[in-house]
Structure 1
Amino acid sequence: MSNDIQTRSPGAPESTDARQKGPRYGSAAALTPPVDVVEDAGGITLFADLPGVSRDNLNLQVEAETLTIEAESGLAVPDGLKTSHTEVGLGRFRRVFTLSKELDTEKVSAELAQGVLKLRIPKAEHAKPRKIKVEVA
């Protein structure tokens, strides 16, 4: 991976264990979702595992060179039923990335399907390779 993106967790040490609780936001600890970053000539694509997260409970924000992913998952209990035992509770996710100036944050696109968030961030025009025409003197 190049220097186009760096992961960071403000106020918390870096962790390689994606299941470890990360920095706090709101009133509960946030889980650090595992993220795969794929780079190609046109930009980068991030794949974040966010099981149980709906589009309504997903907050994506780009401010300056910082990308923030915040989400909340939960299983809805059908009307008239009560849970007697819960092992899968409400999950909060948070992940922060520092983006390179070579990426065009104005053209970020996002898709959420089956618990996987796909974010595409293209390279800025000035960072894309281009052919230089050579003139004969």
Structure 2
Amino acid sequence: MNDLETRKPGTLGAMAKDTSAYSAAALTPAVDVVEDSTGITLHADLPGVSKDKLQIQTEADTLTIEAELDLPVPEGLQSTHTEVALGRFRRTFRLSQELDPSNVTAKLVQGVLILKIPKAEHAQPRRIHVDG
């Protein structure tokens, strides 16, 4: 069962026009998703992003990751070559009803964002006691 679906502009289910500061062009970070019996874990590659330039938000069944690169050029120097011209990352996912968006935990370790999204209580496996 797939508990997570990426939303892409121009496809069915895409969000309405975004009017936030992040609506400008942005890079789409690579994300690995691992599912187990307790929920899912996302590993998003966000090189050059610091914790204070990262926003993670859930609203209804939508998870949004937004970030800005934090690679300052030292004073008095000028960049002569830039391979990544966009300084933003943005990725949006639709969450399954089996997940609990109110209990998401996040950690940023060496440019990798680790999000843990637990399954909702009604979706957790449970043992049934048998009387007899």
Task: Say how many residue pairs are matched.
Answer: 126
Within the alignment, does 1:35 sit opposite 2:44 as a pair? no
Identity across aligned pairs (percent)?
A: 63
Structure whose residues are more often helix by fraction = 2
Cα RMSD of the aligned pairs, angstroms, is: 2.1
CA positional deviation for 1:110? 0.2
CA positional deviation for 1:102? 0.9
Cα distance in 2 for partners of 1:122, 1:27 equals: 29
From 10, 31, 45, give the equivalent of 1:12: 10
CA contact (8 A) 2:22 2:66 kept: no
Unmatched 5+ residue regions in structure 1? 15-22
Q: 1:1-137 alignment to 2 at 5 Å?
A: 2-9=1-8, 11-13=9-11, 26=22, 28-136=24-132
Cα distance in 1 for partners of 2:115, 2:37 equals: 16
SS at 1:102's partner residue? Answer: coil
Unmatched 5+ residue regions in structure 2? 13-17
Q: TM-score normalised to the size of structure 1? A: 0.82
Q: TM-score normalised to the size of structure 2? A: 0.85
Structure whose residues are more often strand by fraction = 1
